[in-house]
Structure 1
């Protein structure tokens, strides 16, 4: 009886099998009964997961990591958003009390229920959801028991802290003996550190990069490890006198080396960097296995870091993974997984950020060592598909734009060609266009063709991105004990701390003292009165956490007007705009490339919040004449980037209003569409009347012929056909078919008319654009650029943006 209730359970529990979902019929929008079973060995050729927000991408990737855990396969998961911490929210008993600390109280408030009631509903939802996919609490218990799960937070003490000091240690002998591997390690360490300093450096042309690479290379070849203090010293006084064929002082004068070293010193002295020196050393083997050799699921949360800090850490981590990988024996089986969520910005198609090179190395070489790389993103346009041609499996969910689909298909073609597999572009385009939420197409070069499937129910509770306080709660018990490495994985691996030391302060390093922002960063800069300063208002919904201090960071702000004019289309529209460019470290180049352009002008304040601190101000922003130059830069930027979008419906000879969306435009055309459908209904009714005439005409003639035959039989007469002729039968059939078809069409038109009339709602209400007559309404998109000579920009001002800065240096916006 149990086998009949769960016929597929034994199949998807087989070792080496990942149960990801069930087959899905796109045409019927319905999941089947056949489980999608993914061979774990296929993951050694890597995987890419792409899907827009709401596609179910996070749920699929979490399910994949759960399956790896159930198979005893460890994973290192880089988490830029905070979603992967949900892997720790696994509750085998599925009790409401387990869910209650993690349900969103605001959701309960909107639903008009208490948090306890919402937790009860959530527990029931998870229990029923698991049952539909032949899962239960026993499977969750196996998942919990099989792997150790931990959240690491480099640069923060919210989770288990990681120190980066080890990243400048001499690499293992296997790397030193491999010239290419050593060069990659040197380039990665130098690029990552320079990125943290805000220096965009090319390995061939940047003298900072060349000097730093030579210093690291010399030390490592000599078998010497460097900490930051030692690195600063060797930058100022390198152990060599020439760089290439050029004298050292000619290539990089002593004065400039001193200035460069001081930038590193400022980093080391920064209170925000102190947290980078705490915690467990960045050891890949310890991230993958506990001291007892139990597989570990290590989630490395970097959501709290700045972009530069993220790039620095990810680069260092990937180089550590490469070093670990090359120390392992070769294998054809899946040994471990490296997963990165939201790879946007780390693997772009044209630029070469520091993290890209080691990531390419892993994609090309990790297969031989049994390391599977899984990359996920909701921004498919920002991926280097040439590099991703090494990926053998692609999980594709709903995509937002045609451009996204085109880029993904381009990448699929490259991957299929690389693997020597066939690829049907038209079929893939049609499949991608029909995907629903939680429905993905898997293109696996190891399979016979693409497979469409719906993702299974996750074992872990998907609570959304975890906050730092929630991460701290999850990791509290792991940080509290001061015992063995298994009990306190953040303790130093080589040295046991003294009995009065905590795992956060290993014996190999002094306990860092809590530090405050220095006076240079805290005091308000003294600037020329000609520079207009404004203050962005605080967002009252963003409350400070314990230990956080309000700090203003600089930005550039301006307002203006755009004139969109095109006589041929009858367009003559003025539109206001506001531009905000936050500044972190150095000014971005091009200046306004990453700015936020807003349609509404926010109201800024003339005075700051009392007792607020101030971040560093780039020297260029203290020079008044630069602001006039930045006015022109902004004009050029909005001229290149801003467009007025209009929609035209040729059928009704109508055009949308400025800033009117296509959905709102369809709503406005609704009365005309109704008139058209009403006309079609009238035509359908006429067709029904005509078809009825055909049917009854044939029927009366058939009855007359039958009566004639009966009379002939009764009274005798010459021989005649005893049945209705074929022409009569055909006429009746034809009339019947035409009548049925006309009635069907009439019913369909009446349904459309009824749905359309229900859509007659007040302006501003959401329109159901899936109603067929509205959906089929053909609209032409018209984009009008602003007229360059009419662009108006008021003087750019210095805008101070509020941030909450914690004692550990972690920052979050307060606006």
Structure 2
């Protein structure tokens, strides 16, 4: 022993405490290497977490089954499970049934919410933060640091001890399977006082299954298990039956002696020898032990030397730190304590939905981030209001408004858009889901909104807010119609133009027919006018030439005699030309009137703008929308700013 003490490198670990050498259990939440060991590993981890939360795993069979399936589902899909993810996964499982049984029947939502709140409380407590800092619970790493590792658990309560021992044994079992078989001793597990961790049927604490597996399979893999107890009656018979080396001291009760004898008989001793052994055990004196080796069936009595011990009791954590020479971890544990792991409950009439997280913390990669990046869901109330407008606009109008749910000011704020980069109209068409994205926590909801009175105040305030809105409405003079609520001017004009054209279609067709007839008549009259003007011109030319010839022949009398008849013909043609021009002017006027009528029929409608107030206002729906946000402090130039990014649409905003 002195040689071992001098040559061995001993490490003393203090799980659950930062004063000594803490141990991180996060590695235990990773999937085992052997797929066939997946379910048993998940079951062990799940059953280990319930005692830590102060709940008895034996009374939570359905809940433990659900938590086990959550680990199995995550590990099969290569999803990293973190403690802060478990409450939300438990509340909203990524599957609907387990083994053909609906999740809601197995564990109702109300019960899931209770468990999720309990787990969230435990995982966010300062004590649990001390379980995720320190040396990882990885045997490759532990054996590299020392060839003797002591896990000091005296400072833990019973639930914490059960959790850690179960995780330690499960981790050791997975490490054993990964290393493969061996006929040489690779590791000795010494368990001082196994009482309560390996009880007989029907009790089944989380530590029992992995410890039994190590006892049964360990020798084939070079793992030896050394157990000590003062109460063998409380040890499962399967463990006793697999023991190969027995060291039995004074047993005070007959039950303990009987259970020890039953185990030795299972190991190979005869019934006759059992009676003799019973007498030997009953007559043992202080510092006397019976040693039985089942491998070579050798039994002997052993006396220890007389020695003195002060029996000072367990060491304190400060003494452990001093002995091990390890510097205790100091300082505060980082993390935003105001964020929640699971969404808070709301009154029944409020539906909850989530925007999917398209981006993660990488969205802030372009900023000089100082400190940690917080990923969380920001809550907003999306409210739909229906109302009717005053005359002359009769019709229903809808309003969509947003209100921040994490804070509730004295003067309620309703808006169509809010930071970080969300608009009420866009949310109406967004792919809203029933489950949040993993890795995001939740901003708390204002306490007032978790009550019916608080919701009623919001609804009353929204109704009053909408009733004071001036709604712009357009009216068409020609049709007497008003625009629909929310319809823009261009759309209303186009709609009224189409309606006017439909209404005046026959009138325009009739006007076009008349215009065509008048155009034909006008063309005919103009043609006849041109003919008369031609004839008049020819007549004048003919008279002029004839008279000129007569004058040249010296027949003056004949010349004057023919002038009177020709003049009458000219006057007649000129009269007819004058009538034609009057007729043409009249037809052109009629044509111009028809063209004006057609132009007016095709002219754009005359639009008037009205301002009206809503009436009969009522809130038609209330929905809580969770918006994924990435938030961090960052240096921009020489200034420190707050950066918030909408992880759904990628909009980034900065605040002083």
TM-score when scaled to structure 2?
Answer: 0.48
TM-score after normalising by structure 1 = 0.39
Bigger share in strand = 2
Structure with the larger RCO, 1 or 2 (CA within 8 Å, 6+ apart):
1
Larger Rg: 2
